[in-house]
Structure 1
Amino acid sequence: MTAAEKDTEQTAAPSPKAIAAAKAFVAAHGGSARAVVENLGQAGARIVLVGEDGLLGDVMVPDVAAGEALVEAVDGLSPHEWDGETVAALKIGPAHRRKMAGPRAR
């Protein structure tokens, strides 16, 4: 096994903290959630979670492979893309919209 393969193998495993955060989100938001893994380049990957109740959460991991491994490791998470069904499942309230808009919206 080459050094590059070892690095890939090591980064493909999500941290226990990331797994715990995803499990807590699933438990708090209805027992299941959609997971969209987004590549952020050098910053890693973001797993956007959409709970059964429509609320959002996210977990950061080192790379897309770790994100996909996290989705597989957590019961109740299912992999999704940003399709119409996933977007329709969101329930974003006015307070969250203001927060996302930043200080100019306040």
Structure 2
Amino acid sequence: MLTGMTDAPSTDTEALQQNTPTVTAPKEVLAAVRGFVAREGGSAKAVLQPIGAAGVRVTLVGESGGVLGDRVVNDLATAKAVIDVVDGLEEAPEWDRELISTVTPQKGHYAKMAGWVANQKRFPKARNTKIVNPTYRDPGLG
């Protein structure tokens, strides 16, 4: 009557571990992150930020100089695998005040992040000009 139930895992955790595939971090990402950590004195913090279908951004903050770096991996499991494998890399749960205060962006970082807008001298005319500067005046407004 109860045969077959004894073959089931004893806990939900065991069942989850049996069904979870082993995740390995990409070699090129590991090489880049290890190099960053080494340049920053052997320690850095990583903030994991999901960015939709593109994957997960692993933003690195160097402990010695507050230099920023980042890499994008396919998913959260891969990002956590990178943190587990790299010595001196610690996961920061979020961007808190302490972490933000250690960041020192390099000169030109803001222009680089602005992309094509950074070097523009002329911009397209706003599409909402008629809403902002209407030519029609309401007689009730005076």
Output the TM-score relative to the length of structure 2.
Answer: 0.63
2:91 corresponds to which residue? Answer: 79
User: Aligned equivalents of 1:19 and 1:63: distance in 2?
Assistant: 15
User: 1:17-36 to 2 correspondence within 5 Å?
Assistant: 17-36=28-47
Structure 2, unmatched stretches of 5+, are 1-14, 120-142
Q: In proportion to residue count, which structure has more strand?
A: 1
Deviation at 1:102, TM superposition (A): 2.9
Deviation at 1:44, TM superposition (A): 1.2
2:11 corresponds to which residue? Answer: none
The one-letter amino acid paired with 1:100 is M
Alignment RMSD, CA only? 1.8
Q: 2:103 aligns with which of 69, 77, 90?
A: 90
Q: 2:73 aligns with which of 46, 61, 80?
A: 61
SS in 2 for 1:24: helix
Query: 8 Å contact 2:67–2:106 — kept in the other structure?
Result: no
Which is bigger in relative contact order (C-alpha 8 A, separation at least 6)? 1
2:58 corresponds to which residue? Answer: 47
Deviation at 1:104, TM superposition (A): 2.9
Q: Deviations over 1:61-104 (max 9, x none)?
A: 11011101111110010000211111111001341122122343
User: Aligned equivalents of 2:101 and 2:24: distance in 1?
Assistant: 31
**Runs of 4 or more consecutive aligned structure 1 residues displaced over 2 Å after TM superposition:** 101-106
Task: Name the % identity.
Answer: 42
Deviation at 1:28, TM superposition (A): 1.1
Output the TM-score relative to the length of structure 1.
Answer: 0.83
The one-letter amino acid paired with 1:46 is R
User: Aligned equivalents of 2:71 and 2:107: distance in 1?
Assistant: 23
- Point out the structure with max Rg over C-alpha: 2
Q: In proportion to residue count, which structure has more helix?
A: 1
Structure 1, unmatched stretches of 5+, are none
